Amino acid sequence: MKQPCVYFLASQRNGTLYIGVTSNLLGRSWQHKNRQGSRFTSKYNVHRLVWFEPHETMENAITREKQIKKWNRAWKLRMIEEKNPDWRDLYEDLTLLASFPRRRESRATTRATL
C-alpha cells in the first residue's frame, strides 16, 4: 500500500503499542518485522500490524498521528478493537493484496495460452 498511512503496531493483544506514519505501509511493516523499523519496536518486540488509516496526503497523516499520540490508551485500544477485534496481524492481508494483481495477470496469461 503506497499511500500515506497512520498505523498501530502491537506486541500482542492489549500489549505494547507503537504508532507510526509512512507512505509505504507494506515496506515499513516488513522493516518492523525484520527489526529494521525502530529501536523501540525491536527492543519491545512490537511488530504486529493491528490498525491503519490511509490518508490523501502525508501532511494529513502526520497531523492525525500527532493527534492520536495525545489520546489516552483506552481510546487507542477502542480504535483497534472496532476495526480488528481479533487483533489479527494485518500485514498478511497487505501482502496478499500486493500480490493479487500479479496473480490475476498470470491467470489471464494462462487462459490466453490455453
Q: Which letter does DSSP use for residue 77 in this model?
A: H
- pLDDT tens profile 95-112: 888 775 544 444 444 444
Q: How far apart are CA 36 and CA 2, in angstroms?
A: 19
Q: How far apart are CA 61 and CA 75, in angstroms?
A: 18
- pLDDT tens profile 33-62: 999 978 999 999 999 999 999 999 999 999
Model pTM greater than 0.75?
yes
Joined together, the cell numbers standing for residue 77 give 485500544
Q: How far apart are CA 49 and CA 92, in angstroms?
A: 9
Q: Give the domains, in start order, of the chain with CATH numbers.
A: 5-113 (3.40.1440)
